Amino acid sequence: MENSTYTFSFFGRYQVGINKFLLPIKISLFCWFAGSQTTMAFISVYLKHQGLTISHLSVMVTISVAFQFIVGMISGMFADRIGRVKPFLFMHGSIFLETLICFIVMPKIDGCDTQKITLHCIDEKLTAQDSCQIPQDTFHKDACFLIDSENATHYDENENCPFVSLLLQMDFSIENYHKNEISGFCLYQVNFKNYSSKDIPPCEIQKCEAFHVVCSKKGISSDCLKSRSSWILVYGILVVLYNTSRTNIYRFFDIIAMDLSNQYNSDFGKQRLCSVLGLSVGPLLAGFISHKITSNESDKSYTPVFVCAAIFAAFAFIPVWKVNPKFHKPAATVWKKSFEFVMNLEIILFLILLLTMGISFGFIYIYGNWYLQDLGATDLLLGVSTGVSAICALPFLYTSKWIFNKVGLRNFFVLSLLSYAFYCFSFSLMREPWLAVGIKLVYVFAYHLFWVASVQYCDEVAPIELQATMKVLAGTLHYNIGWYPCIA
């Protein structure tokens, strides 16, 4: 096409051409990966900050895997059935943006911790100042114990302090006396049921001040437990919706990018290059903004992170709105044809390959940096090692079509498997964490180029009426189902 390419020159001798019809999808991929990778970088620490535990997150992610597979396959098959992809992209995109808004406004989950009151011996009386909201029957004597503040052990029964023997009998009550209007706290005091304080001989001040009594609340409020469980359930629903919509958006962007690459005689690797640039910029920018806005850890807020991610994601859907990929016409009997297609031996082996590579990728993604930290790696080294592999992938992605034509897709799959084998074997022998910078370079072949090759392979072997189904299935196996053994 005449005048269809924008040409950029570098250093007066190098030129890079960008097809103007592919520019919208490149911008969309850049913005989408910037936004989605921002949320992926901060979602776990955000949920921890909101009061959820690792066990909660593990259950939510595990449930998400099932929904990602089911919803992804249904969406892919219906896309093939109606011959349109963009409606499903925008449907999942709207859900994704709504979950980000919910994360911004969601409250923190208060813990239902056991309430305690500590009474000190002052002026020969056991007293404590605490909130006036505590009912007098909140604490029970069976959950009270004596602590020696000098050696942090239980107080010796043989000591001569007169209060000790009576306290050990636990024959007392804790009563609320009066409120301090200035501080807003009430004075609580121990009263012995069968003895008057006047009848008890005074204790030696030095002895009595050495210990205090700690009493626990009778039980955790059922209202607190119900409220906490309800909010955890709401967070769980949001996490499932977030993960399901996010992964399906990735898949439909892959489908659109591959179709446009075929339509304008380009290659998928060049479009994927913009994705790598986006995932390198997004989390860095969001982290910088959050650091500048948040003054201290006690006032930590992840609102800037989600706002930044939402802006990137919203901008990702604007350019692709006008893109018109030449997807195939509506197809009939997609379910039957899909079943017959995956029964082919070559396709079964390809799906097993995707699952194997997905397990390898998930294991390294989750535990790789953890292992490096155990070896003494700093946060800077972790960031550098990841960034270097992404930067080194750029020229290979740009020339991916030439590489695959020279090597062959099936031969490249073998190279990717060997790359993961080298990666894991090298990590097992590594004793200096800085060596990870060089070892992670194999990520160029094991991950970045492998996924480009996988999408291109799906495009070549899948029937025209099963393009969306096959690409969604490949992505689900590699990025979702393959991760399940690593998180289960």
Structure tokens at 167: 């306290």
Distance of CA 187 to the CA centre of its chain: 45
- Distance, in Å, from the CA atom of 231 to the CA atom of 252, rounded to the nearest integer, reads 32
- Distance, in Å, from the CA atom of 323 to the CA atom of 256, rounded to the nearest integer, reads 9
Confidence (pLDDT) at 82? 86
Delimit the domains of the chain by residue range: 22-110+226-329, 114-152+159-216, 331-487
Distance of CA 6 to the CA centre of its chain: 38
Instruction: Report pLDDT digits (tens) over 339-394.
Output: 888 888 999 999 999 999 988 887 777 677 777 877 887 756 766 777 778 888 88
pTM of the model: 0.74
How many CB atoms lie under 10 A from the CB of residue 389?
22
Instruction: Report pLDDT digits (tens) over 49-71.
Output: 888 887 888 888 889 888 999 99
Instruction: Report pLDDT digits (tens) over 266-302.
Output: 888 888 888 888 888 888 788 778 777 765 555 677 8
Confidence (pLDDT) at 81? 85
Give the architecture (CATH level 2) of 22-110+226-329: Up-down Bundle (1.20)
Confidence (pLDDT) at 351? 92
- Distance, in Å, from the CA atom of 155 to the CA atom of 124, rounded to the nearest integer, reads 16
Confidence (pLDDT) at 109? 81
Give bridge partners of residue 369 from the DSSP assignment. none
Report whether pLDDT(45) > 60: yes
- Distance, in Å, from the CA atom of 206 to the CA atom of 208, rounded to the nearest integer, reads 6
pLDDT band of 1, cuts 50, 70, 90? very low
pLDDT band of 240, cuts 50, 70, 90? very high
Decide if 22-110+226-329 and 331-487 have a common fold.
Answer: yes
Instruction: Report pLDDT digits (tens) over 157-167.
Output: 445 555 566 66
Confidence (pLDDT) at 38? 87
**153 Rama sector, left if φ>0, alpha if ψ -120 to 50, beta otherwise:** beta
Q: Which of 427, 432, 436, 435 is nearest to 375 (CA)?
A: 432
Amino acid at the residue 484: Y
* 17 phi and psi angles, rounded to 5 deg: -105, 140
Confidence (pLDDT) at 364? 79
Confidence (pLDDT) at 158? 41
Reported as type and span, the H/E element at residue 449 is helix 449-461
Instruction: Report pLDDT digits (tens) over 178-237.
Output: 666 555 577 777 766 666 555 555 555 445 566 677 776 655 556 676 777 888 999 999
Most confident of 150-159, 173-182, 358-367, 425-434: 425-434
Please state the rounded mean pLDDT for residues 96-111: 89
From the options 1.10.357.10, 1.20.1290.10, 3.40.1710.10, 1.20.1250.20, give the CATH code of 331-487.
1.20.1250.20
**117 Rama sector, left if φ>0, alpha if ψ -120 to 50, beta otherwise:** beta
- Distance, in Å, from the CA atom of 90 to the CA atom of 318, rounded to the nearest integer, reads 10
Report whether pLDDT(448) > 70: yes
